[in-house]
């Protein structure tokens, strides 16, 4: 059989310690769903752009990212659905910006920190 019956922990203390304060699968899923949203080049760059210039319409966003409207539109749809960005419609132009409730830790600690990361270089990926 290949199914694990690793019935005897090697270090039961640590197992208990870890298991006790580990996020539940649901919490982890919720967390990773947010991370997944940022874990895409297009969406991440959309967020970066909006973090910098506050507000942009779809076409301009596509221009700034040097991408096409399809990709940007799809990215915005997901971000909007998740509540990370909001839109304001003026005439036939739709302006997007980071949502008011955009998680500050994400913005301050992740978005910006991670940009710094890429500037120095991430860990070796060999």
Partner DNA sequence: CCGTTACCGGGACGTCCGTGCGGGTAGCCA
Partner DNA sequence: TGGCTACCCGCACGGACGTCCCGGTAACGG
Residues 37-96 that bind DNA (CB under 7 A): 40-43, 57-60, 68-71, 73-78, 87, 90-94
2-31 footprint of a copy of itself as x/- string (CB under 8 A) = -xx-x--xxx--xx-xxx-xxx-x-xxxxx
Number of residues written out for the chain: 126
Cβ neighbour number for residue 84 with a 10 Å cutoff: 23
Binding residues with DNA: total (CB under 7 A): 30
* Minimal distance, residue 87 CB to a copy of itself, in Å: 14
Q: How far is CA 76 from CA 14, 46, 49, 59, 66, in A?
A: 43, 8, 12, 12, 15
Specify whether the CB–CB gap between 96 and 81 falls below 8 A.
no
| SS3 assignment, position 86 | strand
Q: Which does 78 bind (CB under 5 to 8 A by kind): DNA, a copy of itself, none?
A: DNA
Q: Interface residues with DNA (CB under 7 A)?
A: 2-3, 6, 8, 10, 36, 40-43, 57-60, 68-71, 73-78, 87, 90-94
């Amino acid at each position: 059989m290949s199914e694990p019956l690793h019935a005897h922990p090697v270090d039961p203390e640590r197992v208990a310690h870890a298991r006790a304060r580990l996020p539940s699968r649901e919490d982890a899923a919720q967390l990773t769903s947010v991370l997944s949203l940022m874990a895409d080049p297009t969406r991440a760059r959309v967020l970066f752009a909006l973090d910098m210039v506050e507000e942009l319409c779809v076409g301009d966003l596509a221009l700034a990212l040097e991408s096409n409207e399809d990709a940007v539109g799809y990215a915005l749809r997901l971000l909007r659905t998740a509540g990370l960005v909001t839109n304001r419609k003026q005439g036939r132009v739709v302006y997007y910006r980071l949502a008011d409730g955009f998680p500050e830790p994400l913005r301050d600690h992740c978005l910006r920190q991670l940009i710094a990361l890429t500037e120095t270089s991430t860990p070796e990926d060999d």
